[in-house]
Structure 1
């Protein structure tokens, strides 16, 4: 039996029902945001409220509760949690990353979060995390069109290749050094 099921069985029935209702509500809102017709009617504030709601539902309990959503929905939830935990509330890049909501469409914002999440997963040390912060700040400083072009360019790339492309924004000499080693 998964740990999440054990944890849910040991919860107070009213707390369990409340948690399941919050998770279901967040799931429904995410599905609503994913459909094109609803996305047009749903503003940025509503998207931010959904992310906050998901974070409150999964905050301290997400490590112990297994959600039974589809892979796509699970990915969307993981992206939303990464946005909240690693970008929105980050002490050094949070303020800058929040501006992405104003600049990018929902689809582009989702792509940017997925790209930055993939790049961060290649980080294994604190030095690399400092580099990741520089990458995020440089990415956020790009013009909107440049961001969209970069997202289109890196959408199918492996995480390490995408990291090299993004690091070349921070350190233009790194791209030259990488091409020299490839030759």
Structure 2
């Protein structure tokens, strides 16, 4: 069976490459607008499902991986990708001394059998108190403008944290590899 990553994210592609499996990438088609009353956890799961399902007809006889991530400040305020240095500064200033929660949805869809596994992994980042000069230096050095929360945990972003907690640190980057390996094993793909 062909393995398909339903994402154009370079971060997710790099993570899946770590498993040393052959795979293709494809752009999913999913409206990412939150539904009325939808929690961040529900949104992450729904979008992961929609991304995988949107590729079903293009990739028969495949295992399709859909993933999406939603982050919030103190589980209330949505935190997206900043896009600009000014917005990155604002996000990191707002996160100073607070907690940012990441909900990463994972859907593995077998288009041969119709079997689907869906889960949402939660990861928590507690920021230490940050000074303006530290924030500016971090943004200048790391350039995290395309990262939710304005940091890269796999890089210098660790210098911003007081602590972090979760089952799988790769979910923070956008694709929970521990859970994905379990799903793949259940679908007959041995990673090792």
Normalising by structure 1, what TM-score? Answer: 0.27
Q: Which has the higher helix share?
A: 1
Q: Which has the higher strand share?
A: 2
Which of structures 1 and 2 has the bigger CA Rg? Answer: 1
